[in-house]
Amino acid sequence: MDKFLIKGPCKVKGQVNISGSKNASLPILAATLLFDKTVEIKNLPRVRDIDTMLELISSLGFLVRRNYKNGSVKITRLKKIKTIASYSLVKTMRAGILLLGPLVAKYKKAKTSLPGGCLIGARPINYHLNVLKKLGMQYSIKKGYINAYIKTSLVGTTIKFPKISVGATENAILASCFAKGKTILKNCAIEPEIKKDLTNFLLKAGVPIKWIGKRTIQIYGVKKLKSISYSVMGDRIECGTFCVAAAMTEGNLRIKGFNPKLIKTELNLLKKTGAKIKIYKNEIHIIGSKKIKNIKFLQTKEYDGFPTDLQAQFMTLLCKAEGRSVISENIFENRFMHVAELKRLGAKILIKKNKAIIEGKTKFEGAELMSSDLRASVALVLAAIVANGISIINRIYHLDRGYENIEKKLSKLGVNIKRIS
């Protein structure tokens, strides 16, 4: 099993290009099940979750031709299509559930394994099932599989989500593309991966889809989609992670290939900690401060609030700040698993229910660490970069699920990091 060996402290300096967004690519790849003709997706990141999704699509009977040189994939429907998403593939990735909506909408049936992924909270799929049921899907759950079917077709209706859910919003949008008539979805998640990328992709493919309110989307169902080529947006969380890396190492970093407007909240918070930031059209220039200022209270929220996927990285930064900071985690109930490992490096953090109280001025000392989930893993990498001495980070397969060539990118920026097999 691979691990990282990091010798700190290091400063992050230079230029980095942001890879395609994992969280935008996954629902767009799920949408390719709706096409009869070839569809091309560009700017895919080379990460494990994308590999798994493409394996899943291939296992259903689609021809998947991937070009690793330019980061594109062409997906073509073959004659015989299977509608079973197996446990062996879905168990490692939460996004496997996104195949349910398209399969049922297009092929009238689906047998999908209950999903896996990071153990950061309950993340129930009842929101997915409830919205698809309101569109006309019937289902039962047996032996760890969702057995779903429709008699004729899904039928458009008006649905309001009881709670904002990224995955359920995506599944509902995908299924509604082939539902009869008009569907209106209220209280939707509005992350850029949905409101910018997934919507634009479906619009280009011929779906009459538009946002008619901040969290309300209107979709008219179609019978077929146009063959298109589409380039995925840059990865918002990778961009935020590199911003934090520069801020906490007194770094000087130019980040290219991402629209700064999409992380306005995060950049404003980094300015509060003392970082100097200049933004351009698709570029961010960030210089870290010698003295990092604390943030008295920070809470995770749905977009356009502070994202839970950057909570662990910001916590690591605030360990180095002058004074006490508090982070309230309001999205997932089990997302402080990195805290125990940060303490091994010398962090002083107290957990009270969903709040983490962080005492600043931590002098991280290198140690051997264990990754628990995707974003927690990268927080440990950030801490190791500023720690004195050698740190070893185990179980980095979590990182490989969501960060493309992170050790190569960090090496080019001056970080002493090696992958050990």
Catalytic residues: 118
**Cα distance between residue 335 and residue 375, in whole Å:** 9
**Cα distance between residue 377 and residue 396, in whole Å:** 7
Structure tokens belonging to residue 117 = 């992924």
Torsion angle of alpha carbons 50, 53, 55, 60, nearest 10°? Answer: -160
How far are the Cα atoms of 186, 316, 342 from residue 400, in angstroms, in the given order?
34, 20, 20
Beta-carbon contacts of 93 under 8 Å, excluding residues fewer than 6 positions away, are 49, 52, 53, 115, 116, 117, 401
How far are the Cα atoms of 26, 34, 54, 252 from residue 219, in angstroms, in the given order?
20, 15, 26, 45
φ and ψ at 320, to 5 degrees? Answer: -90, -5
**Cα distance between residue 190 and residue 208, in whole Å:** 18
Beta-carbon contacts of 210 under 8 Å, excluding residues fewer than 6 positions away, are 199, 203, 217, 218
Structure tokens belonging to residue 104 = 């049922």
Specify whether the CB–CB gap between 211 and 281 falls below 8 A. Answer: no
How far are the Cα atoms of 37, 50, 205, 211, 365 from residue 227, in angstroms, in the given order?
6, 21, 7, 23, 54
